[in-house]
Amino acid sequence: MQHQSKLPNVSTNIFSVMSSLANSNNAINLSQGFPNFKSDETLINLVNSAMKSGYNQYAPMAGSMELREAIAIKLDLLYNSTYSPETEITVTAGASQAIYTIISTFIRPNDEVIIFRPAYDCYEPAITLNGGKTISVQLEAPNYNVDWSLVEQKITSKTKMIIVNTPHNPSGTVLEEADLLALQELTKNTNIIVLSDEVYEHIIFDGKKHQSACLFPDLKNRSFITASFGKTFHNTGWKVGYCCAPKVLMDEFKKVHQFNVFCINHPMQKGLADYLKTPTHYLELSEFYQEKRDFFLSLIKGSNFRFNPSNGTYFQVLDYSKITNEHDVDFAKRLTIENGLASIPLSVFNDKNLDNKVLRFCFAKTEETLKKAAEILNKVNKFN
């Protein structure tokens, strides 16, 4: 059979490439963003209890009401922001499904979508598959700050959506209040939809406050917020997340969602609903991961890698320009094969594969794993 690919420029993504390389070389894998420690036994027991109690058939299409109510309570607690669990919250198969469905719902051929690079790799393919055009705003290393005057120049009559991500994967930076106010002002009195990817909302460091789109009234009225229980509760393999938006937007989202996945696994929704009744399960997450970040960075402070400490997420970007001039993809592969440590090169997320000589490392690992990784990094010398 012959067919014309709808994604002709897409090959195996960098996460699969680096993880495969790590496996074949028995390397420590700090490339993909998943913890190598167990989920809370309490949560696992709650899910098991839900299974034994009969929560094994289809859940409601928008998610179990108990979980949607728990999400609404969390949003009110954290942001003093009200979302109706009946009409403005939908449980999804992870944040990626929410993002894909949002884009599929609203993007038509020739619509323009502004994204900020380095950008997580699920945005652009969804835009392309729906006939849209990706408009890139390149963030500059090492601070990755947004130049809102440049964003303003990118907005045209065809701009349908702007996608923001804070805390930001892969750079580990966060948007400040001034950034969200600038975005609110730029989109005011327009029909632009904002997709705010906030999957790392509970992982933010050094006393900073997460600036959710729902904190800004006009922005909230045009925004989808996507979130991930997998990132929050150390169970990325469960693929459970959610999104929230004003009813007028969510009504359209659910029209597509019902034919995409219809509903999400029921016992995990029940377990998560019960687990969310104890807010400390997510309120203490920043402290937990900041300790890991600080531990990892303290171990490599004498290495030849340079860094600005991550402001959020469980990723740390390391600058290797003192070590070699190699392209970051080549260096990442060599570091895996020759030194036994896998990471993610950032150029694959940049506009025109801009290479800033930086790699992303995941520190959502045990102390033992981080110590072994640090030992490797400390031994990497110039032109090793």
Equal fold, 14-32+284-379 vs 41-277: no
Q: Which fold has domain 14-32+284-379?
A: Aspartate Aminotransferase, domain 1 (3.90.1150)
Please give the model's pTM, rounded to 2 decimal places.
0.96
Indicate the CATH number for domain 41-277: 3.40.640.10
Q: Where are the domains of the chain?
A: 14-32+284-379, 41-277
Listed range (195-199, 213-217, 313-317, 377-381) with the worst mean pLDDT: 377-381
- 306-311 long-range contacts, CB within 8 A, separation 24+: 308/142, 308/143, 309/205, 309/206, 310/172, 310/173, 310/205, 311/167, 311/172, 311/173, 311/174, 311/204, 311/205, 311/206, 311/208
Q: Is pLDDT at 1 greater than 90 in this prediction?
A: no
Note the pLDDT tens digit of each residue in 177-205: 999 999 999 999 999 999 999 999 999 99
In DSSP terms, 227 is beta-bridged to: 242
Note the pLDDT tens digit of each residue in 68-95: 999 999 999 999 999 999 999 999 999 9
The mean predicted confidence, pLDDT, of the chain is 96
CA-based R_g, the chain, Å: 21
Question: Quick check: 250 and 88 in contact, CB under 8 A?
Answer: yes
pLDDT of residue 374: 98
Sign of CA dihedral 86, 89, 90, 92: negative
Place of tokens 């390391």: 318
Place of tokens 């929230």: 244
Q: How many whole angstroms from its chain centre is CA 16?
A: 17
Place of tokens 């989920």: 39
Question: Quick check: 93 and 264 in contact, CB under 8 A?
Answer: yes
Q: Return the closest-CA partner of residue 30 out of 330, 301, 292.
A: 292
pLDDT of residue 382: 64
What is the pLDDT averaged over residues 229-241?
95
DSSP code per residue over 30-82: -SSS--SSPPPHHHHHHHHHHHHTT--SPPPTT--HHHHHHHHHHHHHHH---
Q: How many whole angstroms from its chain centre is CA 175?
A: 14
Q: Is the peptide bond before 170 cis (omega within 30 degrees of 0)?
A: yes
Note the pLDDT tens digit of each residue in 32-45: 888 999 999 999 99
Place of tokens 């896998």: 342
